[in-house]
Amino acid sequence: MKIAFIGLGNMGAPMAANLAAAGHEVVGHDMADISIDGVTIAASGAQAVSGAEAVITMLPNGKILRTVANEVIPAMQGGAVLIDCSTVDVDSARAVAQQATDAGLLSVDAPVSGGIGGAAAGTLTFMAGGSDTAFAKAAPLFEIMGQKAVHCGEAGAGQAAKICNNMILGVTMIATCEAFALADKLGLDRQKMFDVVSTSSGYSWAMNAYCPAPGVGPESPSDNDYTPGFAAELMLKDLRLSQQAAESADADTPMGKIATKLYEQFVEHENGLGRDFSAMLPRFEKRGRS
């Protein structure tokens, strides 16, 4: 299959490389000067998508996605599928999907989970929104780039699933860090805390798989001075998207709103920028009750 890949950053580059390694003809485009084994680099997005059966985008935000869509959709061949793997707002995902449909194209919004490591290893999880036909055409590519793809519903459903999942993650990570900081001040050993909570009703992915306390539980970014596996600023981006969606849908999300404000404070006014999102724990360690 001839595939165009627009957006060859930390996530897009290894995803494109995996498609090329699997034998597909991949033509890429990025604003930065980049070279990827097996991928031909085009001078523009329109040039990259010419003759492609599938066009994959991995872009920073909805505004850029809309701009790229305006460039590449008119240049795509009829019946091709546009697969957007960016994490963007639901409204932008649906607008681009409608634009693609109006142009006689298939489209899938398919944000990912798994980070840079998952992109390199081909073990990403895709949360996909779009028609059954569009998902079926994209599915073989998901199998190369990831280990699981869930068809969540119609256009925008993939983005909805991603931001709802990450709102839960942001809230539970804050609660986990708060609980460790409280346990410290109550004189409870962190390992004992983990041994109880990880097998009790406080069980969560944040505690059991990504424990924010160094030296406790499976290895995680906390064991590497909170070097990001998932950066705090990316969590802030996803939480902001969740609140934008909640506003649009008139949904009451008080915990999501509080989590957004806390990560905003952490990233923009404290030392959270460039640290893992679990670095909330040392933040809470230093604070008293306010």
Q: Which residues are catalytic?
A: 162
- How far apart, in Å, are the Cα atoms of 190 and each of 162, 185, 214? 31, 11, 9
Q: What are the backbone dihedrals phi and psi of residue 247, each rounded to the nearest 5 degrees, phi first?
A: -65, -45
Cβ atoms < 10 Å from Cβ of 105? 20
As given in the structure block, the two tokens for residue 139 are: 């599915």
d(CA 72, CA 49): 7
Long-range contacts of 121-128 (CB under 8 A, 24+ apart): 122/18, 122/146, 122/147, 123/147, 124/15, 125/149, 125/150, 126/85, 126/150, 126/158, 127/152, 127/157, 127/158, 127/159, 127/161, 127/162, 127/165, 128/152, 128/157, 128/158
As given in the structure block, the two tokens for residue 36 are: 């990827």
Which residue carries 């546009």 as its tokens?
82
Contact (CB, 8 A) for 96 and 159? no
Please name the residues in contact with 15: beta carbons below 8 A apart, sequence gap of 6 or more: 5, 56, 58, 85, 119, 124, 145
